[in-house]
Amino acid sequence: MTSPSVDSTSSDRVMIHLDQLSKRFPGQHDNAVDELTMDVREGEIVVLVGPSGCGKTTTMKMINRIIEPTSGRIVLDGEDVTRTDPDQLRRRIGYVIQQVGLFPHLTVGDNIATVPTLLGWSRDRTRERVDELLSMVNMPPESFRDRYPKQLSGGQQQRIGVARALGGDPAVMLMDEPFGAIDPITRDRLQNEFLRLQSEVRKTIVFVTHDIDEAIKMGDRIAILQEGSRIAQYDTPEQILTHPANEFVASFIGRGASLKRLNLSRVADIELSPWPTVGVDASPEEALQALRATHHSAVLVLDESGRPRRWVGAEDVRHAGGRPLDQVGLPPEPVVEPEVTLSDALNELLTARYSVTIVVNRQGAFQGVVDIDQITDAVRTMRRTAVSRARAGLDENP
């Protein structure tokens, strides 16, 4: 299987069980959510996705009873919470909304301390937790703890929003289009960061979006909802892309399902290609030697710790005129980390000078490259896997 998350993250324990949950708003004829029954397993990200007005946000907000259900039951970790004290319930559930809603008159640190304070944690424990969370969302505590929300960019505010939701270390998080109001580049980065964070904290997450691409990228499982929050299909992203259950799902996914599948696997899941490299203090002759040994038109110059420094071609070496290798040629672009999706990698390499994307580990050391052949291979493998799995299901239930 290409996506590592599906099989490894979630246990079989049901964390959230919704039982025939309905909501009818006063003065409306139809149920906004109509007898929805679904399970969310511990440690998985379930994305609720659907057209606007399908009831996905209402569904999510009924889990922490910001919207009280008209009928049905909510079972959280085996406990029926449909009638319990909603304030106590909400302190156990992280909540992130699109508008972030940071408290403007409180510092970043005090914002994150909201739930710990409500839970009555000691001052020391709260302070430790705040610093820990700030580090987790890549914002150094010493420079951000005492700032006010107004002094942060939109992306930073949403990072604090996520940190604040994690404040009381809840088992469950609800996220309502958390990256919806953020520019595409920052959104992409926040999504990647969040996936990395989730691989550490392993929360059970219900994530609402209207963007199918975001759903495919973020979800371990996706529930595609129709009007009245009726489930059109509830399955892994692979299954939804390869075997849409009906017309509605197929049209919602839209065209380019194959390309979307590239959002399912990460660079870490495929085998990287090698690329000729030389050390930064290599002589021009050594560089040319390395070039001649392969069919590539440039070598990658690495520094002492293995970090990429320059692309150097044969022409560059000849015109170097005695300059060291890291001062000729081109900057080492594009560079990605193993967490990025193949789709991101493809985007990068399409515009790259040597038609490859450099992959580095978290320390920045060179790991290998991704080229177009590997991406087409990955697409082929995915399709084969999906088809054989579907056929396996066919054989079991004749």
Partner 1 sequence: MSAPTSDDTTTQPAVTEEYHAGHRRSLAGYLVMPGVLALACLVLYVYVSQQELDSIEARSLNAATLTGALWEHVQLTAVSTVLTLLIAVPLGIVFTRPFTRPIRSYLITLLTLGQAVPTIAVLVLLAVVFLFLGFWAAIVGLVLYAIIPVLLNTMVGLEQVDKAVLEAGRGMGMARFTVLRRLELPLAVPVILAGVRTALVINVGTATLVTYINAGGLGDVIVAGLSTNRVTIQIVGAALTAVLALLIDYLAGIAEDLLRPRGL
Residue with smaller CB distance to partner 1, 248 or 311: 311
User: Cα(181)–Cα(189) distance, rounded to whole angstroms?
Assistant: 14
Residue with smaller CB distance to partner 1, 11 or 99: 99
Shortest Å distance, C-beta 124 to partner 1: 21
The answer to whether the CB of 360 falls within 8 A of the CB of 366 is: yes
The answer to whether the CB of 171 falls within 8 A of the CB of 94 is: no
Nearest Cα neighbor of 43 from 16, 25, 61 is 16
Q: How many residues bind partner 1 (CB under 8 A)?
A: 55
The answer to whether the CB of 349 falls within 8 A of the CB of 355 is: yes
With CB under 8 A as the contact rule, the residue among 334, 356, 378, 386 that binds partner 1 is 334
SS (H, E, C) 125-169: HHHHHHHHHHHHCCCCHHHHCCCCHHHCCHHHHHHHHHHHHCCCC
Residue with smaller CB distance to partner 1, 81 or 232: 81
The answer to whether the CB of 253 falls within 8 A of the CB of 58 is: no
Q: Is 352 in the site for partner 1 (CB under 8 A)?
A: no
Residue with smaller CB distance to partner 1, 120 or 321: 120
Q: Is 193 in the site for partner 1 (CB under 8 A)?
A: yes
Residue with smaller CB distance to partner 1, 115 or 249: 115
With CB under 8 A as the contact rule, the residue among 107, 289, 381, 385 that binds partner 1 is 107
Length of the chain: 398
Residue with tokens 């079991």: 396
47 token code pair: 């994305």
Type of residue numbered 165: A
Q: Is 195 in the site for partner 1 (CB under 8 A)?
A: no
With CB under 8 A as the contact rule, the residue among 9, 148, 245, 250 that binds partner 1 is 148
Contact pattern for partner 1 over residues 255 through 294, marking x by CB under 8 A: ----------------------------------------
User: Cα(81)–Cα(340) distance, rounded to whole angstroms?
Assistant: 38
Q: Is 178 in the site for partner 1 (CB under 8 A)?
A: no
User: Cα(324)–Cα(142) distance, rounded to whole angstroms?
Assistant: 39
290 token code pair: 């390395």
Residue with smaller CB distance to partner 1, 35 or 193: 193
Contact pattern for partner 1 over residues 110 through 139, marking x by CB under 8 A: ----xx--x-------------------xx
The answer to whether the CB of 8 falls within 8 A of the CB of 61 is: no
With CB under 8 A as the contact rule, the residue among 88, 135, 297, 355 that binds partner 1 is 88
Residues of this chain that interact with partner 1 (CB under 8 A) are 64, 66, 86-92, 95, 97, 99-107, 114-115, 118, 138-140, 143-144, 147-153, 155-156, 161, 164-165, 167, 174, 186, 189, 192-193, 334-337, 340, 344, 348, 360, 364
